[in-house]
């Protein structure tokens, strides 16, 4: 996996985030720089905040 914007590769086992709008894999720097008109870019990993998760048993 590497950044589709600047081509940088992850250091170590670090996983890149991705744009929640276009799905491009972006390194932390490109996420901060923005994508799809959003600055910083919309993270594709924020789905953890889905309120439907409250239905889960703990
Ligand atoms: Zn990048
Ligand atoms: Zn994007």
- pLDDT tens digits, one per residue of 9-47: 877 666 789 999 999 999 989 999 999 999 999 999 865
**What distance in angstroms lies between residue 39's CA and the mean position of ligand 2's atoms?**
10
If pLDDT is split at 50, 70 and 90, which confidence band does 50 have?
Answer: low
Q: Give the model's pLDDT for residue 11.
A: 74
Ligand 1: centre distance to CA 22 (Å): 15
Q: Decide: 29 and 36 in contact? Cβ < 8 Å.
A: no
The residues whose Cβ lies within 5 A of ligand 2, an ion, are 19, 21-22, 35-36
Q: 26 with 18: CB under 8 angstroms?
A: yes
* Domain residue spans of the chain: 1-45
Which residues lie at CB < 5 A from ion ligand 1? Answer: 3, 5-6, 8, 27, 30
């Amino acid at each position: 996996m590497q950044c589709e914007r600047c081509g940088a590769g992850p250091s170590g086992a670090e996983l890149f985030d991705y744009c929640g709008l276009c799905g491009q894999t972006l390194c932390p720097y490109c996420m901060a720089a923005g994508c799809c008109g959003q600055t910083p870019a919309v993270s594709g990993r924020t789905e953890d905040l889905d309120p439907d998760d409250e239905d889960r048993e703990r």
